[in-house]
Amino acid sequence: MKGVFLRNKEIPLYFGEVNFNGVKKNINFDTHNPNNPEMFYKHPNGEIWIGDSITWLNSLPNDSVDLIFADPPYNIKKADWDSFESQQEYIEWSLKWIEPAAKILKCTGTLYICGFSEILADLKAPAMKFFKNCRWLIWNYKNKANLGKDWGRSHESILLFRKSKDFTFNIDSIRIPYSKHTLKYPDHPQALTSQYGNGKKHLWIPNPNGAKPQDVIDIPQDIIDIPTTCNGMHEKTLHPTQKPEELLRKIILSSSNIGDIILDPFLGSGTTAVTSEQLKRKWLGCDLNKEYLEWAVNRIELVENWDIDKWIKYDFENMQRRNSIR
Ligand SMILES: C[S@@+](CC[C@H](N)C(=O)[O-])C[C@H]1O[C@@H](n2cnc3c(N)ncnc32)[C@H](O)[C@@H]1O
């Protein structure tokens, strides 16, 4: 990689002691009731809560959050928290968290929901009663082997809901590298049928910061320059469905501004809080699972104090490198 991007691997020591920025709360897990969420960790820029996210979301003030990223159970029986009796039960459960999520979202805000297309498709219409506008993003990955006897899965979907036309979208923060073909032929005659037609040559000048982003997001999970292991390293944990930081950085950069509040009701190993912290946003998260949240805290404490431009460059150079080796 061209730039210098050394990631933190260990939380810094201060006089021989681990120097935490945040504070882990004392919770009695013998008596803890998930229906009564408790604060798990308090940091100058955010909070993590442990408990049921539907109860937690219902306790938060209306119009108070700028962006919600939800990576909920997918209803694919991947873990004990991912099993529902039926798709109907899953839809009903989903609407129970989507409704309060819509209420706490500011009118300029966006809610992103991850899932498999065939499952999310059933959520789109009932969820729209809380929103004004919807887009459908595809996260395309190329690093999963097809071990079954069916079409191999190479994408997940991300539904994007907005409450008004006045939404935050920072296109210049998430530009992508141009394809080799586009850069090779910047100066070319246009067909008469083209919108740039009438036989003239159209001189196109590439934007120095890259091309506009597209709704098929292309992020392989395993191509990271720094080797990852679960202990003490910056990204990979043992969480069964951990999302890549790069995906979250795109979502946060595009749909929020510095200092905005980002919320994740299914925080897991903390990817949303970690990337919000990297990008100088405030963050709130909740999860049922204590072990996952311990990993989240560790990852937040490891966040490097880089300028936002450095994170953008880090991802852009990674994308360029991936393009060059394909
Ligand atoms: C798909 S995973 C999220 C992974 C996360 N995006 C990451 O990068 O690590 C879904 C998470 O939802 C949590 N969960 C499931 N049901 C929940 C509920 N009712 N309330 C809070 N968290 C829940 C699970 O413990 C799991 O960590």
Among 266, 278, 286, the mutation site with the greatest number of ligand 1 atoms within 8 A of its Cβ is: 266
Q: From the alpha carbon of 267, which atom of ligand 1 is closest?
A: 5
Q: Of residues 68 and 83, which shows the higher confidence score?
A: 68
Does 66 sit in the ligand 1 pocket, CB within 6 Å? no
Q: Tell me: pLDDT of 190 over 80.
A: no
User: How remote is the CA of residue 316 from the centroid of ligand 1, in Å?
Assistant: 29
**Strand arrangement of the beta sheet that strand 216-218 belongs to:** 23-24, 38-43, 46-50, 282-287, 261-264, 65-70, 105-115, 155-162, 133-140, 216-218
Give residue 234's pLDDT.
57
DSSP per residue, 192-227? TTSTT-TT-EEE----TT-BPP-SEEE--SS--SS-
Q: Of residues 185 and 306, which shows the higher confidence score?
A: 306
User: How remote is the CA of residue 188 from the centroid of ligand 1, in Å?
Assistant: 50
231 confidence band (pLDDT: 50, 70, 90)? very low
Q: What is the DSSP letter of 242?
A: P
User: How remote is the CA of residue 9 from the centroid of ligand 1, in Å?
Assistant: 25
Give residue 114's pLDDT.
96
Give residue-wise pLDDT tens across range 23-79.
Answer: 999 999 999 999 999 999 999 999 999 999 999 999 999 999 999 999 999 888 888
Percentage of the chain exceeding pLDDT 90: 66
Give residue 233's pLDDT.
41
Give residue-wise pLDDT tens across range 240-292.
Answer: 889 999 999 999 999 999 999 999 999 999 999 999 999 999 999 999 999 99
**CA angle, 270 as apex, 265 and 274 as ends, to 5°?**
115
Which residue's CA is minimally distant from atom 19 of ligand 1?
A: 52
Q: Tell me: pLDDT of 176 over 80.
A: yes
Query: Measured between alpha carbons, how far is 143 from 146 in angstroms, rounded to an integer?
Result: 10
Among 35, 49, 52, 81, the mutation site with the greatest number of ligand 1 atoms within 8 A of its Cβ is: 81
Q: Where are the beta strands (DSSP E) in the chain?
A: 13-14, 17-18, 23-24, 38-43, 46-50, 65-70, 105-115, 133-140, 155-162, 187-189, 201-203, 216-218, 261-264, 282-287
Q: What domains does the chain contain, in order, with CATH numbers?
A: 34-176+212-304 (3.40.50.150), 179-208 (no CATH)
What is the pairing mode between strands 261-264 and 155-162? unpaired
Query: Measured between alpha carbons, how far is 191 from 215 in angstroms, rounded to an integer?
Result: 26
Give residue 55's pLDDT.
98
Does 292 sit in the ligand 1 pocket, CB within 6 Å? yes
User: How remote is the CA of residue 208 from the centroid of ligand 1, in Å?
Assistant: 39
pTM: 0.91
Give residue-wise pLDDT tens across range 129-158.
Answer: 999 999 999 999 877 788 889 999 989 999
Query: Measured between alpha carbons, how far is 121 from 169 in angstroms, rounded to an integer?
Result: 24
User: How remote is the CA of residue 97 from the centroid of ligand 1, in Å?
Assistant: 13
Q: Of residues 325 and 8, which shows the higher confidence score?
A: 8
Mean pLDDT of 89-99: 97
201 confidence band (pLDDT: 50, 70, 90)? low
Does 53 sit in the ligand 1 pocket, CB within 6 Å? yes
Give residue-wise pLDDT tens across range 4-35.
Answer: 788 888 877 777 777 789 999 999 999 999 99
Burial code (b: 16+ CB inside 10 Å, e: under 16) for 218-241 equals ebebeebeeeeeeeebbbbbebeb
Which residue's CA is minimally distant from atom 18 of ligand 1?
A: 52
Does 43 sit in the ligand 1 pocket, CB within 6 Å? no
3-state secondary structure (DSSP) of residue 15: coil
Mean pLDDT of 289-305: 95
224 confidence band (pLDDT: 50, 70, 90)? very low
Q: Tell me: pLDDT of 305 over 50.
A: yes
Q: Which helix (H) or strand (E) holds 92?
A: helix 87-104
Q: Would you tell me how many other CB atoms lie within 10 Å of the CB of residue 135?
A: 12
Indicate the range of 224-228, 251-255, 294-298 predicted with least confidence.
Answer: 224-228
Q: What is the DSSP letter of 176?
A: B
Mean pLDDT value across the chain: 88
Q: From the alpha carbon of 114, which atom of ligand 1 is closest?
A: 1
Mean pLDDT of 294-298: 95
3-state secondary structure (DSSP) of residue 61: coil
Q: Tell me: pLDDT of 230 over 60.
A: no
Q: Where are the beta strands (DSSP E) in 59-186?
A: 65-70, 105-115, 133-140, 155-162
Give residue 269's pLDDT.
96
**138 token code pair:** 């595809």
Does 237 sit in the ligand 1 pocket, CB within 6 Å? no
Q: From the alpha carbon of 81, which atom of ligand 1 is closest?
A: 15
Query: Measured between alpha carbons, how far is 268 from 290 in angstroms, rounded to an integer?
Result: 9
Give residue 118's pLDDT.
95
Q: Which helix (H) or strand (E) holds 97?
A: helix 87-104
